[in-house]
Structures are given as structure tokens and as C-alpha cells.
Amino acid sequence: MTMVTRAGRALAGLALGIPSALIELLFLLAAAPALAVPRARRHVFAAAVRLADAEMWRLSLLGDADVSGYDGRRAVRYLLWRWPVGVLGGLVLVLLVTGIGVGTQLAWRWGRGEPFDGMEPTVPLAFYFAVAGLVLLFLEIMGLVGLVTLERWVARRALTPSSTELLERRITELAETRAGIVTAVDQERRRIERDLHDGVQQRLVALAMLIGRARRGRAPELLDELLRQAHDEARAALGDLREVAWRVYPAGLDSLGLRDALAGVAERAGMAVTVHYGLAERLAGQVETAAYFVVCEAVTNAAKHAAAGAVTVEIFKEGTVVVVRTRDDGRGGADPSGGGLSGLARRVAALDGRFHVDSPPGGPTTVTAELPCG
């Protein structure tokens, strides 16, 4: 965008600020009595937010004010601060138009050898008006620049939370994250206990019974069959125990890294899992662990609940954020509030990341985690 285009957009934004200031003043005068009525207050706040949204569009002509997420109270406060700025902008623009008009008339009349306001065109007068005009033009340009700065400052000051509000919001987020982590760890502990009790323990009991029957057996052919069954149960128990150990913490992450750990997930999935790994360097330990569990849980859900036949895993970096995305061709309908997915959301939130599940009925299901790593 050229300088001329930016200047034209800024002038257009300031010009639009004149009627918007009048509209905001009329709105505040009309809404002031309604603010005293609780039932009407939310309608006033909603209308103030819409006016503030329109102002944000106008401010985009002046440059990005980087303001969003304001509520009705802040919108009303912004309108209170903003309308005098709009009136000031109108006065500055009137001075600009008046100066251009007077200068044009002066140049036109003196150029034709005619007097202007009783003054004959002479060299000293022409030099005097030229210098005065340049000084006034410089002051007018500085006034416009200052007005643009004032418009953006008022928007940020009135619409964005104060440092105290940001601190309180951050404390609330940390408290919620801590509670979420405690809940996620408790759920994981219960699931591990359930897996040990219903899986590994039951297989070990069956193994002990088979060995006991083998010790009491008399027929050689029965003894061979019991030993074969005991061997199968021992292998199954080892497999279950290995699965539980990987759920607690995948030891391969430390020794092999995330890429090889995910390759292990793909091998054990029992279906086609394609991993597109786009990272050039290793991540921090907690980020690697979170990424691993996101993929592991998504693949497990796709196999057990979505009847998927294939899963695609993508891991890449966007700026200072690592994006972990899994997409399956299953029947969809995954519940983000379920134990596994909600636990993942809390794990990602603990790292100030974002977690999203898109799973319409009929599929496909896409699970995305964005993990800050900068």
C-alpha cells in the first residue's frame, strides 16, 4: 500500500468519525436513562457493542488498533471517551478544508492579476503567504497524525482490560488449569487401576489356575494343553502390562524421540496410520509428551469407538506453535466432554495451548492441538 493510499484511507476514516461521533452522542443521551433499568441494560450494552464494532471497522482504515473481545460495559466506556475525539477530528478536518479553499482562491485570483480580499499581488505578500501556508500545512498534518494516534489510543485504553483485570484473568485461568490437571491425573490413575484390575490381574489369575491344574494333572496330553494355554496367558499378560506402562509414560520418548514413539503407536494401532512429521528439531519434554498423548488417544478412539480404517497424523510448526492434527475416516460423533478427550484438553490447556475436536455424525473426526513452544 502506497503512502498516498494510506493517507487517503486515514482521511476517509477521520471523515467517517464525524457522523459516527454524532450518532454515539445521541445514543448515549438516549441510553443513559435505560442504563438505570436492569432489564433494559443488556440491550443497551448489546447496541454499544455493535457501535464499537463499527468503530473498529472505521479504525481499520487508520491502521490496526488490535482490539477485540470487549464487553458491553467497555463498549459504553469507549463511546463516552470517543465522541469528543470525533468532534475534535471534525474541527481539524474543517480547518484543513478551509485552508485548502483559501489557498486555492488566493492562488487563482493572484494568478489572474486580481486582488484577493483587497490585497494586490506583490512579491513580499506572496512570499509571506507561502511561508505561512507551509507552516499551517505542517501543523495541520501533525494535527491529523496526532488525531489518528489519539483515536487508536482511546480504543485500546477503553476497550482492552486493564493490567489488574488481565492479572485477575490469568490467575483464574491458572486456577482452572490446575484443577483440570488434578482431575485429569485422577482420571488417568483410575483408568490405570481399572486396566490393571480387569486386564493384567485377571490374566495372571487365569495363568495361576492353569499352572495349578497342570501340577495336579495326570495325563501327558492334558499337561501339554494346559502349558500351551498358560504360555498364551503369560504372553497376553505381558502385552497388557506393556500397554499400561506405555499409558503411564512412553519410555521411548526419552530415548528415541517423538517421531519414533509415534511410529510405535502406528505399528500397534491395528489399522493404517500415516504420520507426516514436519519438525526439524526436538521439542521440550512436556510438549513432546502432550503431543504424543494427543496422537495416542486419537488413534485409540478411532480404532475402538469410530470403527475407522485409516488415520492420518500431521505434526508441523507454525511460528512458535506446534500443531498436532489427527484425522480419521470413522463414523464421527466423538464427544469432546468424554473422559479421554477432556483429559487431553486439560493437558493441552496446562501448556497454554488450544484443543479442538471436530467430529460430526458420519465423520470424519479431526482432533487438533496447538502447543506453544516459543
Tens-place pLDDT, residues 75-93: 999 999 999 999 999 999 9
Q: Other C-beta atoms within 10 Å of 20: how many?
A: 20
Residue 322 has pLDDT above 90, yes or no: yes
Share above pLDDT 90 across residues of the chain, in percent, rounded to a whole number: 28
For residue 166, the one-letter residue type is L
Query: Which residue in this structure is represented by grid cell 440491550?
Result: 43
Q: What is the pLDDT of residue 82?
A: 92
Q: What CATH number is given for 252-372 in this structure?
A: 3.30.565.10
State the average pLDDT for the chain.
86
- Interval 36-52 mean pLDDT: 88
Domain boundaries, the chain: 3-160, 166-245, 252-372
Q: Cα(27)–Cα(14) distance, rounded to whole angstroms?
A: 20
Cβ proximity of 185 and 218 under 8 Å: no
Report pLDDT digits (tens) over 218-255: 677 788 888 888 888 888 888 888 777 766 777 677 77
> Largest Cα–Cα distance in the chain?
136
Q: Cα(144)–Cα(125) distance, rounded to whole angstroms?
A: 28
Report pLDDT digits (tens) over 116-173: 888 888 888 889 989 998 999 999 999 999 999 999 999 988 888 878 878 888 888 8
Residue 63 zone, left/alpha/beta (φ > 0; ψ -120 to 50; rest): left
Q: What is the pLDDT of residue 65?
A: 66
Peptide bond into 361 cis (omega under 30): no
Length of the chain: 374
Q: Cα(158)–Cα(82) distance, rounded to whole angstroms?
A: 9
Q: Which helix (H) or strand (E) holds 293?
A: helix 285-304
Q: Cα(195)–Cα(189) distance, rounded to whole angstroms?
A: 10
Radius of gyration in angstroms for the set of CA atoms belonging to the chain, rounded to a whole number: 35
- Interval 17-28 mean pLDDT: 92
Does the pTM surpass 0.75? The reply is no
Q: What is the pLDDT of residue 245?
A: 73
